[in-house]
Amino acid sequence: MKYVLKTKDICKNYKDFKALNGLTMNVPQGSIYGFVGKNGAGKTTLIRLVCGMQLPTSGELELYGAKLTDKEISKSRRRIGAVVETPSIYLDMTAVDNLKQQYRILGLPSFEGIDEILKLVGLEDTGKKKAKHFSLGMRQRLGIAVALCGDPDLLVLDEPINGLDPQGIIEIRELILKLNRERKITVLISSHILDELARLATHYGFIDNGRIVREMSAEELEAACRKCMRITVSNTSVLAKVLDDMGLEYTIIDDSHADIYAKPNITQLSMALANENCEVLTVEEHDESLESFYISLVGGAGND
Amino acid sequence: MTKLLNAQFHELFKSKYFYITSIICVIFGAGLTTGMYLFPNYNQPENSRLILTKENILGVVPSFATMLLPFAAAATVAVLLDSQYNHGTIRNMICCGHTRTDIFFSNLITMSAAAAIYFVLYQVAAIFMAVCVFDFEGYDLKATLVSLSAMLLMLIFESTVISLLLGNLMRGGKLTIVILVVQYILNISIVFGMYKYDNIIADIAAKIFPQSCVFYFSCFAVPEGIWKNYAVSAGLIAVMSLIGLHQFKKCDIK
């Protein structure tokens, strides 16, 4: 797998506070990488390091094959578009003027493509309306439009749906999916709104206390959070034999608990177990959400 | 660097503040000439060697730019830098792959150029009023004009670079207020320049800050040892630029 961004044991200290503490992560090309963590976990700090706004205290960061110490890092950064915390826009300019200014900063020879970008983010009809009169969602989309100038290969979005209303959240989500699918842009998106990330991300990095506690693909996460029937029986070895005979997929958790990944006929299963002298104690539907998976990873409130 | 300068100048010329300050400079230049013509002996400081007579308007008014221009330059830095930090422009430039050195120098050049424009507008307005409206003769001593201009430009750059250093140190917040207060304190050296014969500290301060020479120029003469003053100022500008650059390269942008 080809990675656009790799970090190894990266640390960032603010005086005595360790914002990042040996973080290692890999963002695959073409993915939507959901960077999940609670407030203060280190998400924004990492994004600032990736964008060059801050320097790490130690560790390695590689962006499109260029390390931080390489001269080519500036070239690699030109392949990034970023919206860090608040969108970088001039409030007293129109959407078109904002994009023109970004084109100038990038040194692009002409303003071709501005209309296309505005259309892509749904701001083509804003006319002479200045950004200060835009809604929060429109500003966020304008921020993304600015980040899209110069056709970046990697889009870095820090909490892009914070403070947005449901309609705004849907718009941003659809835009991100569109950019990833149609333009093949790799997206690194940080958020603590897990349900929203679950609708977007193809890969996840769970961060806590400045460290990645787990990196996984959406498929792996889906398997971990799969819906199942949790059954409590007097003997799981008997249960395993019966389930094998019935051709059902399952996982034995301990001597009395097992998860069955299907909807079995409970009467049939109970009778088969009764014939083998195995008692069914409880059966309940078990559905681990992304939220509970995250809590199980970082240790919940006790971890604060 | 060229790309950044293009973007920065465009931002400057889009700024309402730049035009307001330019108009203030023109009004100040023209107004001071008129004021000097109408009230030539008003509030003349003692022991200052300042010659306030109608005949010397063209010696006094251009020199008095020292009172306005450092503030105009500092305020330009404050407003532009405040906008860049608060609108995320600096952040954006870094994300786009521009080096911090390029960003620092493009800011320094743009802001110094803005202050130089204020200087030209002030002087043109003052000289235009004196020569075209009140029929004064133009400068007889070109050397004085050249030295005065050099001194004022140096003062502008000094003011700009100090303000830029301060602004980058603060990175947003109340940088406008702090920059203007520091500028006010620096401008006190004009007062030191008046009394430099009486006080050794005032004499040293006067050597560091070129604005203190303003009262010599009002006598239509190039002061003795002006080159020492220029050298100290140029050194100060260079040192401040290097400190500012070093600080900006190492600082954490939020």
SS3 A115: helix
Chain A residue numbers with beta carbons less than 8 Å from the beta carbon of B3 are 104-107
Domain count, chain B: 1
Amino acid B224: pLDDT: 64
Using the predicted structure, report yes or no on whether residue A197 has a pLDDT greater than 50.
yes
B99: nearest CB among A55, A74, A81: A74
Encode pLDDT of A245-303 as tens digits: 888 888 888 888 888 877 778 888 888 888 888 888 888 877 666 777 777 777 654 44
Among candidates A14, A89, A106 on the partner chain, residue whose Cβ is nearest the Cβ of B96 = A106
CB-based contact A21:A41 (threshold 8 Å): no
Model confidence at A83: pLDDT above 80 = yes
pLDDT at A8 exceeding the cut of 60: yes
- pLDDT for position A303: 43
Interface membership of A88 toward B (CB under 8 Å): yes
pLDDT of residue B19: 92
Q: State the pLDDT confidence band at B211, using cuts at 50, 70 and 90.
A: low
Residue range A3-222, CATH number: 3.40.50.300
* Chain A neighbors of B93, CB-CB under 8 A: 105
Residues of chain A with CATH 3.40.50.300: 3-222
Check B92 against A146: CB less than 8 A apart: yes
Q: Which domain holds residue B217?
A: 1-250
- Determine the pLDDT at residue A302: 41
Q: Apex CA A104: angle with CA A103 and CA A110, to 5°? A: 60
| Sheet strands side by side (includes A80-83) | A80-83, A154-158, A186-191, A32-36, A203-208, A211-217
| DSSP letter (8 states) at residue A150 | T
Task: Give per-residue pLDDT as tens, A204-241.
Answer: 888 888 888 888 887 777 777 777 788 899 888 888 98
CB A84 to CB B6 under 8 A? no
- Window 87-146 of B, Cβ < 8 Å to A: 87-89, 91-99
Kindly determine whether residue A81 and residue B95, on different chains, have CB atoms separated by under 8 Å. Answer: yes
Q: Do B93 and A55 touch (CB under 8 A)?
A: no
How far is the alpha carbon of B97 from chain A, nearest alpha carbon, in Å? 4
- Residues B88, B67: Cα–Cα separation, whole Å: 33
Task: Name the B residues in 191-210 with CB < 8 Å from any A CB.
Answer: none
What is the per-residue pLDDT for A117?
85
Q: The tokens 């600032």 sit on which residue?
A: A48
Cα nearest neighbour of A55 on chain B? B252
B121 against B136, higher pLDDT: B121
Question: Which residue pairs from B243-250 have beta carbons closer than 8 angstroms and sit at least 24 positions apart in sequence?
Answer: B243/B165, B244/B104, B244/B108, B244/B161, B244/B164, B244/B165, B244/B168, B245/B100, B245/B101, B245/B104, B245/B105, B247/B165, B247/B168, B247/B169, B248/B100, B248/B103, B248/B104, B248/B168, B249/B100, B249/B101, B249/B104, B250/A55
CB proximity B10 to A under 8 Å: yes
pLDDT band at B23 (very low <50, low <70, confident <90, very high): very high
Residues whose CB is less than 8 angstroms from the CB of residue A260 and which lie 6 or more positions away in sequence, other chains included: A228, A229, A231, A243, A248, A249, A250
Mean pLDDT of chain A, nearest integer: 83
Comparing A82-96, A130-144, B35-49, the range with the smallest average pLDDT is B35-49
Give contacts of B96 with chain A, Cβ < 8 Å.
77-78, 105-106, 150
A228-286 maps to which CATH number? Answer: 3.30.70
Asked if the Cβ–Cβ distance from B97 to A75 is below 8 Å, we say yes
Query: What is the number of CB-based contacts under 8 A between chain A and chain B?
Result: 80
**Sheet containing A58-63: order of strands:** A17-28, A3-14, A58-63, A66-67
Task: State phi, psi for B136 to the nearest 5 degrees.
Answer: -80, 155
Does residue B6 sit at the A interface (CB-CB below 8 Å)? yes
**CB-based contact A88 B94, cutoff 8 Å:** no
Q: What is the 3-state secondary structure (H, E, C) of chain B?
A: CHHHHHHHHHHHHHCHHHHHHHHHHHHHHHHHHHHHHHCCCCCCCCCCCCCCCHHHHHHHHHHCHHHHHHHHHHHHHHHHHHHHHHCCHHHHHHHCCCCHHHHHHHHHHHHHHHHHHHHHHHHHHHHHHHHHHCCCCCCCCHHHHHHHHHHHHHHHHHHHHHHHHHHHHHCCCCHHHHHHHHHHHHHHHHHHHHCCCCCHHHHHHHHHCHHHHHHHHCCCCCCCCHHHHHHHHHHHHHHHHHHHHHHHHHCCCC
Q: Which residues of B186-225 are buried (b: 16+ CB within 10 A; e: fewer)?
A: bbebbebbbbbeeeeebeebbbbbbbbbbbbbbbbebbee
Give the one of A78, A81, A101 whose C-beta lies nearest to B7's C-beta: A101
Per residue in A61-73, pLDDT (tens digit) is: 888 888 888 888 8
Q: What is the pLDDT of residues B78-95, one digit of tens each?
A: 888 888 887 788 888 888
Q: What integer is the mean pLDDT of B227-252? A: 79
Question: What count of other Cβ atoms lies within 10 Å of the Cβ of residue A227?
Answer: 13
Q: What is the pLDDT of residue A301?
A: 42
Q: Mean per-residue pLDDT for B123-131? A: 81
Interchain contact A87–B (C-beta under 8 A) = yes
Query: What is the distance in angstroms between the Cα of B109 and the nearest Cα belonging to chain A?
Result: 16
**Residues of A with CB below 8 A from B94's CB?**
51-53, 77
Torsional sign, CA A162, A164, A169, A173: negative
Kindly report the nearest CA distance between residue B124 and chain A, in angstroms.
32
pLDDT band at B173 (very low <50, low <70, confident <90, very high): low
A178 touches chain B (CB under 8 A): no
Length of chain A: 304
Higher pLDDT, residue A292 or B122: B122
- Answer whether A72 touches B (CB < 8 Å): no
Report yes or no: A165 and A195 within 8 Å, Cβ to Cβ. no
Cβ burial of A117 (10 Å; 0-12, 13-18, 19+) is buried
Cα-based angle A89, A92, A93 (whole degrees, multiple of 5): 70
| Residue from the list B3, B250, B254 with its beta carbon closest to the beta carbon of A104 | B3
A155-164, B115-124, B224-233 — which one is most confidently predicted on average?
A: B115-124
Phi, psi of A161 (to 5 degrees): -105, 10
Residues of B in contact with A90 (CB under 8 A): 11, 83, 87, 89
* B51 and B19 Cβ atoms separated by less than 8 Å: no
**How high is the pLDDT of residue B69?**
79
When pLDDT is averaged across residues A2-14 and rounded to a whole number, the result is 87
Residue closest to B148 by CA, chosen among B170, B166, B127: B127
Q: What is the ipTM of this complex?
A: 0.71
For A90, name the nearest residue in chain B, comparing CA atoms only.
B87
Decide if B94 and A91 are in contact by the 8 Å CB cutoff: no
Which residue from A54, A80, A106 is facing B3, i.e. has the nearest CB? A106
Is pLDDT at B52 greater than 80 in this prediction? no
Q: For residue A285, what is the enclosing H or E element? A: strand A280-287
Mutate to test the interface with B, among A53, A64, A92, A154 (most CBs of B within 10 A): A53
**At A220, phi and psi to the nearest 5?**
-65, -40
Rounded Cα–Cα distance for residues A46 and B185 (Å): 40
Q: What is the mean pLDDT of chain B?
A: 74
Between B37 and B59, residue with greater pLDDT:
B37
Taking only residues 116 to 175 of chain A, the set having a beta carbon closer than 8 angstroms to any beta carbon of chain B reads: 146, 150, 156
CB contact set of B51 (below 8 Å; sequence gap of 6+): B59, B60, B218, B219
Least confident of A78-82, A107-111, B188-192, B228-232: B188-192
Distance between B21 CA and the closest CA of chain A, angstroms: 19
In chain A, % of residues over pLDDT 70: 96
